[in-house]
Amino acid sequence: MDDSPQLFQFVQSVLIGVIFSFLLAKLISVVVSFREENLSIVRGDSVEKELKPSSSESMPIIDDSENSGVSVVEPLVIERANLDTVIDGGGGGDGDDDADSDDDWEGVESTELDEEFSAATAFVAAVASDRLSQKVSNDVQLQLYGLYKIATEGPCSVPQPSALKMTARAKWQAWQKLGAMPPEEAMVKYIAIVTALYPTWATGSTSKIKGGESSDATSGYNKGPMGPVFSTFVYEEESGNELKMDAIHAFAREGDWENLLKCIESGVPVNSKDSEGRTALHWAVDRGHLNITELLASKNADVNAKDNEGQSPLHYAAVCEREAIAEFLVKQNAEINLKDNDGNAPFDLCDMKWPLLQHPVA
């Protein structure tokens, strides 16, 4: 029969449709039962990565006309499944110091979808004034509006504006006709429309969301939207500081054991001074590097070397409160009575008044 291939195709497509619907229903019921049983499935990073909606790939394209009914619904369901399972997918970092139990946050905290939706709305806000308004029909704009209101405020519960206010009324209708659509669904659809209009809008954002998400998340909040500001010192490179120093001082300052050793072994005098009269030992003590101090002492650095102000490494240890280093220097026979140009011994400069700097006689 001529018809039979067609009939066969028809039956086949019906069967596929039935199977698909069944699977879809099953998936929905699974999702719903997850919700009801309050199962939090996922915490690990691995699953988060697997399930993370990648906006540029899996988002439904709404004007993909062929079988739009399926292509819109299917990703949506998957999206919702993601939503429920990735609920704790923040990846750590933020809020860990808060000793909440995770159950408290089930279904409450921000999700990946929230973040993507935020990004989409921000994108729309950004292009609204120029590109969007030209390219996008009024209908689509109203659709975006309705979805936005559902996602952020829920079902429309405000009275209808008067018929004279055309725009207000059209917007009210766009919102109202979506009825009790769940906010998550509205977000997904909103994102879908934006993605359809601007397939590349999220380019580059997905990778950023994955890497270092938590620090991004918090830093965005530091300066807004209102309230006080946490300020720290602006780092100013000292100008007019004519200090001249050699590599050996810099290595000692940075605690760079290897290069310092090389430097000394290559014949640089261990007691060479910078333009302020400081030796490598002064710098090591100043920055609190005990291991470098020990290294320099083992290379016969002068523990009583004086800088241009007459201060020894022990003065530095006393001022900078480096107790372990001071102890070590004293053991290396650093002179505790050495006076600087102002007549101060290390003990005089030590706020902590360590006994180890006091002369036994006193």
Partner 1 sequence: MVDNNSTSNSPAESQTHNPDGNLPSESGVSIDSLARKVQESLSLAKRHKFWETQPVGQFKDLGDTSLPEGPIEPPTPLTEVKQEPYNLPSLYEWITCDMDSEETCNEVYALLTNNYVEDDENMFRFNYSMGFLRWALRPPGFFKNWHIGVRVKSSKKLVAFITGVPARIRVRDTVVYMAEINFLCVHKKLRSKRLAPVMIKEVTRRVHLENMWQAAYTAGVVLPTPISTCQYWHRSLNPKKLIDVGFSRLGARMTMSRTIKLYKLPDSTATPGFRKMESHDVPAATRLLRNYLSQFLVAPDFDENDVEHWLLPRENVVDSYLVESPETHEITDFCSFYTLPSSILGNQNYTTLKAAYSYYNVSTKTPLLQLMNDALIVAKQNDYDVFNALDVMQNESFLKELKFGPGDGKLHYYLYNYRVNHVLRPSELGLVLL
Window 113 to 132, contacts with partner 1 (CB under 8 A): 114-119, 121-126, 128-129, 132
Q: In the complex with partner 1, which residue's Cβ is closer, 77 or 350?
A: 350
Closest contact distance (angstroms) between CB of 294 and partner 1 is: 19
Pairwise CA distance, residues 147 & 153, whole Å? 10
250, 268, 290, 356: which one contacts partner 1 (CB under 8 A)?
250
60, 75, 146, 346: which one contacts partner 1 (CB under 8 A)?
146
Under the binding rule (CB under 8 A), the answer on residue 236 touching partner 1 is yes
Under the binding rule (CB under 8 A), the answer on residue 273 touching partner 1 is no
The CA radius of gyration of the chain, in Å to the nearest whole number, is 35
CA-CA distances (angstroms) from residue 330 to 66, 124, 287, 346? 86, 68, 18, 11
Tokens of 86: 């990735």
CA-CA distances (angstroms) from residue 29 to 7, 34, 80, 175? 33, 8, 12, 28
Closest contact distance (angstroms) between CB of 78 and partner 1 is: 21
Closest contact distance (angstroms) between CB of 358 and partner 1 is: 20
Closest contact distance (angstroms) between CB of 47 and partner 1 is: 19
Tokens of 355: 């006994």
Instruction: Report the greatest alpha carbon distance in the chain.
Output: 122
Closest contact distance (angstroms) between CB of 75 and partner 1 is: 20
Under the binding rule (CB under 8 A), the answer on residue 361 touching partner 1 is no
Tokens of 322: 């480096």
Closest contact distance (angstroms) between CB of 115 and partner 1 is: 5
Tokens of 177: 């006709």
Q: How many Cα atoms occupy the beta-carbon half-sphere of 251 within 13 Å?
A: 18
Closest contact distance (angstroms) between CB of 178 and partner 1 is: 12
CA-CA distances (angstroms) from residue 140 to 16, 58, 113, 136, 193? 32, 21, 21, 6, 8
Tokens of 319: 């001022």
Under the binding rule (CB under 8 A), the answer on residue 328 touching partner 1 is no
Q: In the complex with partner 1, which residue's Cβ is closer, 16 or 243?
A: 243
Residue 200's SS3 state is: coil
Tokens 């009575």 identify what position? 337
Q: In the complex with partner 1, which residue's Cβ is closer, 17 or 212?
A: 212
148, 198, 251, 328: which one contacts partner 1 (CB under 8 A)?
148
Q: In the complex with partner 1, which residue's Cβ is closer, 70 or 161?
A: 161
Q: In the complex with partner 1, which residue's Cβ is closer, 50 or 342?
A: 342
Residues within window 47-106 making contact with partner 1, judged by CB under 8 A: 90, 94-95, 97-98, 100, 103-105
Closest contact distance (angstroms) between CB of 26 and partner 1 is: 27
16, 153, 308, 353: which one contacts partner 1 (CB under 8 A)?
153
Q: In the complex with partner 1, which residue's Cβ is closer, 73 or 142?
A: 142
Q: How many Cα atoms occupy the beta-carbon half-sphere of 264 within 13 Å?
A: 22
Under the binding rule (CB under 8 A), the answer on residue 289 touching partner 1 is no
Residues within window 193-232 making contact with partner 1, judged by CB under 8 A: 202, 204-205, 208-209, 215-232
Pairwise CA distance, residues 338 & 302, whole Å? 13
Residues within window 11-40 making contact with partner 1, judged by CB under 8 A: none
Number of residues that bind partner 1 (CB under 8 A): 97
Question: Which of 223, 217, 52 lies closest to 118, judged by CA?
Answer: 217
Pairwise CA distance, residues 260 & 288, whole Å? 16
Distance of CA 333 to the CA centre of its chain: 50
Closest contact distance (angstroms) between CB of 335 and partner 1 is: 17
Say if CB 279 and CB 264 are below 8 A apart: no
Residues within window 157-176 making contact with partner 1, judged by CB under 8 A: 157-159, 161, 165, 167-168, 171-172, 174
